[in-house]
Amino acid sequence: MTQMEAGFRSLFLGIVCGCAGILTLLSSCQGLPTDPEPTKTSSDQAPHPTLAEFRAMRTEGLGATLASMDAAIGSYREDVDFWVLYAETTLALFDGELAVGRTLAHLPEDAAAAYDTALDLAPQRRDARVGRARALRLASMPREAAAEAMRAWNEHTQREAWQNAELREVGVAGLSWTVSCVREGDGIPAAADASARALELAAARGDAEAWLPLFDLYAWQGLQESAAEAAARGLRAGAPQDVLYGRMRGLGQSQRNLQVATLEEVRRS
């Protein structure tokens, strides 16, 4: 190759490289189309946990579980079981925080809203209706809680299908509303009777936790004899003695004979 040919070849390569550099610069400055980066499709994204997985997550932390459920709402918006679980988890977090002296007052209202969504999807869900009554009661809304509890009681008449905890919640919601009415001087609400029947049924099934609210419900109505009898039956059935007998003693001398006889009977048993 002659010296002249080598010079022309170097000049040609320089021009080609220079043009490539100019094109690259123009592409970055003027927005010339370049090959796009591949994007992830929905099938490439990790799926949200199942409801069973959400339930299992609760043992690891209720707050973290709720955060994961919040992130998954878009996928479960029409799933009534998701909303019931969301509400139950919210109330469980409220109970846990309350047990250590912290009150997260917004949580019961959040749970009530989740139960609302569940009931919009499935109005006949008894567990959602009773759960909403509990959430409203914990949110210091006794009138609304009692109304929701009474609706559940009146709409779902197959009592054998009820869980003891559900029966107890109907009773406690009615008790809360009765206390509020008596304190305000409004008399005994109609919910008191159905609430007593719900608690009586739970107690008859062996639910020891039903006796104390049943006693209180009768006592707030001024039914001392019924209250004393409920306390006596509860003590015989193995309900916690310290609180229940203390309530019984508070009835005064009118029920003194029953108090003494019941205590002696429990001591001998």
Q: What is the DSSP string of 87-116?
A: HHHHHHHHHHHHHTT---THHHHHHHHHHH
| Average pLDDT, integer, range 86-99 | 97
Max Cα–Cα distance, the chain, nearest Å: 132
pLDDT in tens, 145-183: 999 999 999 999 999 999 999 999 999 999 999 999 999
**Out of 96-110, 183-197, 207-221, 242-256, least confident range:** 242-256
Residue 4 has pLDDT above 50, yes or no: no
Kind and range of the H or E run holding 191:
helix 191-204
Q: For residue 14, give Cα distances in angstroms to 6, 10, 19.
A: 12, 6, 9
Cβ contact 224:255 at 8 Å: yes
Q: What is the pLDDT of residue 255?
A: 64
**Out of 26-40, 99-113, 227-241, least confident range:** 26-40
Cβ contact 122:155 at 8 Å: no
Q: Which residues contact 256 (CB under 8 A, 6 or more apart)?
A: none
Q: Which residues contact 240 (CB under 8 A, 6 or more apart)?
A: 208, 212
Burial classification of residue 263, based on how many CB atoms lie within 10 Å of its CB (0-12 exposed, 13-18 middle, 19 or more buried): middle
pTM metric for this prediction: 0.79
Nearest-angstrom CA–CA distance, 149 and 127: 11
Kind and range of the H or E run holding 143:
helix 142-155
Tokens 């043992």 -> residue: 59
Nearest-angstrom CA–CA distance, 24 and 22: 5
